[in-house]
Amino acid sequence: MPVRVHFAGRTMPVTVELRDISHGGCYFRGASAPPSAKLAFGFVLPERRMCVARGRVLRVDRNGFAVGIERSNEILTGFLTELSGSVKLTHAA
């Protein structure tokens, strides 16, 4: 999913690919990030609800960067709760 990321201290946001997200963090692909940089990001759900969050870069690799989410709006929190509720775990016998 394409996401707009705005790094603290930079004037222009960048568009990157959100590859993975949970209540505690996420991973973006398609750009590099300064280690420990503060940032904010957002995306719009199909129902036109706006998810926004802020956090800090925890890890940078050759494909992208991981972010620890420090704060998010209720819409993002609800969206993640809906996603995790739809996951069905199975156990091997």
Domain architecture of the chain: domains with CATH: 2-85 (2.40.10.220)
Q: What is the pLDDT of residue 88?
A: 54
Q: Would you say residue 18 has pLDDT above 80?
A: yes
Q: What is the pLDDT of residue 74?
A: 96
Model pLDDT for residues 19-42, shown as the tens digit of each residue: 999 999 999 999 989 999 999 999
Class of residue 44 by CB neighbours under 10 A (exposed 0-12, middle 13-18, buried 19+): middle
- pTM value is 0.84
